[in-house]
């Protein structure tokens, strides 16, 4: 295990692209990335761990859906900068869309080659589903997609909606109307996700920031922010 890790120049290639194949069929399931820690965890556990560039953290494949990847073999290419994993794909689904493989769209025809497994989709949180749907709608026709129409208007367009929904949420709280509070909170969350999607900031990063603050008093966190801001100036 250590021999494989030492073969890699981690300073030159801190993130290695990883091609993932189904062991029994050699079908390509996905492309992901590993840093040194993710590779070490994968070698130790024989379960695929990757580094998410969008979430900026290590994640185990299937940690939400249960569709883990049991690694059958590791392969390192001739330049020591790309990995190939042959895996047993538990649940038969590798893609977050609910499809078996992440490679399901043919560029020339634009046709979709495989159907979505709705059962698998239900294992992913609604926030994650919404965020990825927003990303998929970026290049959609603004006349047929509300998300695309918001993004087509640019920052001022969708930020105006964020401010508007925040105001409506505040009024609902002020009116002490439970159903309206929930409704307006959902509207606000959705439009915040659109803004995050436009900036390619995965909502998991927000969860990480909240986790970082957990255990800090609000006053301490605010003071840290003020101090850091002063130091940067």
Q: What is the pLDDT of residues 35-94, one digit of tens each?
A: 999 999 999 999 999 999 988 999 999 988 889 999 999 999 999 999 999 999 998 888
Token couple for 115: 């159907």
Residue 86: enclosing H or E segment and its boundaries? strand 83-89
Judge whether 101 lies within some domain.
yes
85 and 154 share one domain: no
pLDDT at 173: 97
Judge whether 233 lies within some domain.
no
| CA–CA separation, 118 and 100 (whole Å) | 12
| CA–CA separation, 130 and 205 (whole Å) | 15
CATH number of the domain at 82, please: 3.10.20.810
User: Residue 206 sits in which domain range?
Assistant: 131-217
- Tokens 């508007």 correspond to what residue? 164
16 and 88 share one domain: yes
Could you say which of 106, 124, 142 is where a domain stops? 124
Could you say which of 124, 151, 173 is where a domain stops? 124
pTM beyond 0.85, yes or no: no
CA nearest to 98, candidates 144, 129, 60: 129
Please check whether residue 37 is in contact with residue 5, taking contact to mean a CB–CB distance below 8 angstroms.
no
119 and 186 share one domain: no
pLDDT(233) > 60: no
Please state the φ and ψ torsions of residue 49, each to the nearest 5 degrees: -120, 135
- How many structural domains does the chain have? 2
The crossing angle, in degrees rounded to 10, of helices 126-136 and 178-198 is 50
CATH number of the domain at 182, please: 1.10.287.1080
Judge whether 223 lies within some domain.
no
């Amino acid at each position: 295990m250590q021999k494989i890790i030492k073969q890699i120049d981690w300073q030159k290639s801190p993130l290695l692209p990883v091609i993932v194949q189904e062991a029994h069929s050699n079908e390509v399931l996905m492309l992901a990335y590993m840093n040194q820690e993710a590779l070490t965890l994968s070698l130790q556990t024989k379960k695929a761990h990757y580094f998410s560039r969008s979430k900026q953290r290590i994640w185990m494949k299937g940690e939400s859906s249960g569709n883990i990847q049991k690694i059958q073999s590791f392969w390192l290419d001739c330049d020591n900068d790309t990995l190939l994993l042959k895996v047993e794909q538990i649940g038969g689904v590798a893609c977050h869309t609910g499809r078996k493989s992440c490679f399901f769209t043919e560029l020339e025809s634009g046709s979709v080659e495989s159907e979505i497994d709705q059962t698998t989709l239900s294992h992913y949180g609604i926030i994650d589903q919404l965020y990825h749907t927003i990303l998929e709608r970026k290049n959609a026709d603004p006349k047929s997609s509300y998300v695309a129409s918001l993004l087509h208007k640019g920052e001022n367009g969708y930020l105006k909606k964020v401010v508007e929904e925040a105001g409506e949420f505040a009024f609902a709280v002020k009116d002490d109307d439970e159903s309206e509070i929930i409704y307006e909170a959902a509207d606000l969350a959705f439009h915040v996700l659109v803004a995050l999607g436009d900036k390619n900031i995965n909502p998991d990063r927000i969860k990480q920031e909240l986790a970082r603050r957990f255990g800090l008093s609000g006053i301490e966190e605010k003071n840290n922010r003020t101090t850091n801001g002063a130091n940067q100036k």
